[in-house]
Structure 1
Amino acid sequence: MSKKVYIFLADGFEDIEGLTVVDLMRRAGITITTVSIKNTKQITTAHSITMLTDQTFAETDFTDADMLVLPGGQPGTTNLGAFAPLTDLLKNFYNNGGRIAAICAAPTIFAQIGLLHGKKATAYPSCMDGLGDAVRLEDNVVVDGNITTSRGLGTAIDFSLSLISQLLGQEKADQIAESVVYK
């Protein structure tokens, strides 16, 4: 049975952080759905690329989710963090044992909603103070229980491979890394 992942996109998300996750997960056979937090599927990335998501938040049922993912970028992270239906979903999903992941500035959203208390986490260097009382690490990817965080665009492949490993095992992550000539 395929794993189901939802990645949330807002205007101003970091292109590479969002789309690398989508690309590598799809190569791994994971069903990942891009979800706009707007009333339209049209999103404009941080670098002015206009794209369409698979669905809007309002039309999506997240009950089959295995993982929820947030890309960083600005103002994308600010837009995601200000969208209460998403922050409520993240809290409920995590509190019910679900896996959540964020990269770059987006881990600060987990801190804002109280999910990083005493947890190990990382973020984009200038966003580390936004991790609240998390144990701040500078690793490319930090996994603490069901929370995965990563540093930024340069760690997007490491982040994606970690998520694949968590869902399908290290062997599958290694296969995908080899298939894209990574390392």
Structure 2
Amino acid sequence: MITWLICYTVLTRAGFTVKSAGVNLENETYAVCSRNTRILPDIPSLNTSHADSDILILPGGGPGAKTFCNSKTVLQLIRKYRESGKWVAFICAGTTALVASVSDAKDGSVGEKVRVTSHPSVKEEIVDAGWEYGEEGERVVVDGKVVTSRGPGTAMLFALTIVEEMLGREKMEEVKGPMICAERL
């Protein structure tokens, strides 16, 4: 939840139009996060027609990541973004959805495996799938148009890295300043 909230806030401050989307909510109108926090998504049900934004960001949390990995729509959307040369970003266990999107591709549209990071609890799963994993001290890894990060404690750095990669260092500094971020994120 904190990763979602920080990303939403930072990207909005940077000038992005940010939309959250529900995945497999079934009869609910809100998503329940791993610590029982509820989020009312802007888009009640994600579908592949939602590939018109500049970046797709998937948060983590064990249950959420499993939902993403088991959603054909999410996996197709990840592939669609990557095939279109758009940005994708994953934090915490959310990186497993990137891995699953490549493993699940049955239509020949397998995205390139890139260098990533994630929450340590899913590192082995990612490495076993043949992905290059960042160094232990790297909190955010950028490889091409894929941004990954380790967990809730790296959410601010993750969001600011997305701003810097997409809009430049000057914009990132402009957003970072008024937020009174620590000098060493």
TM-score class normalised by the smaller sequence: 0.7 to 0.9
Q: Give the counterpart letter for 1:136 in structure 2.
A: Y
- The answer for unaligned runs of 5 or more in structure 1 is 1-14
Contact preservation (8 Å) 2:51, 2:80? no
The answer to whether 1:178 aligns with 2:177 is yes
Over 3 Å counting, the alpha-carbon distance change for 1:59 and 1:121 in structure 2 is closer
1:140 is matched with 139
| Bigger Rg over Cα | 2
1:84 is matched with 72
1:65 is matched with 53
Runs of 4+ in structure 1 deviating by more than 6 angstroms, as ranges, are none
2:90 is matched with 102
How far apart in 2 are the matches of 1:27 and 1:180? Answer: 10
What's the TM-score, normalizing by structure 1? 0.85
Q: Within 5 A, what are the aligned runs for 1:21-40?
A: 21-37=7-23, 38-39=25-26, 40=28
How far apart in 1 are the matches of 2:17 and 2:167? Answer: 12
Higher strand share: 1
User: How far does the alpha carbon of each residue in 1:105-156 deviate from its partner, in whole angstroms, 9 at most, with x for none?
Assistant: 1111111222462x21101112111222121113111010111110001100
Bigger shift: residues 52-61 or 121-130? 52-61
Higher helix share: 2
User: How far does the alpha carbon of each residue in 1:75-118 deviate from its partner, in whole angstroms, 9 at most, with x for none?
Assistant: 1110111111111111122112111100011111111222462x
Aligned CA RMSD, in angstroms, stands at 1.7
State the Cα distance separating 1:65 from its structure 2 match.
1.2
1:51 is matched with 39
User: How far does the alpha carbon of each residue in 1:7-41 deviate from its partner, in whole angstroms, 9 at most, with x for none?
Assistant: xxxxxxxx111111001111111111000112454
Of all paired residues, the percent bearing the same amino acid is: 28
Q: Give the counterpart letter for 2:53 in structure 1.
A: A
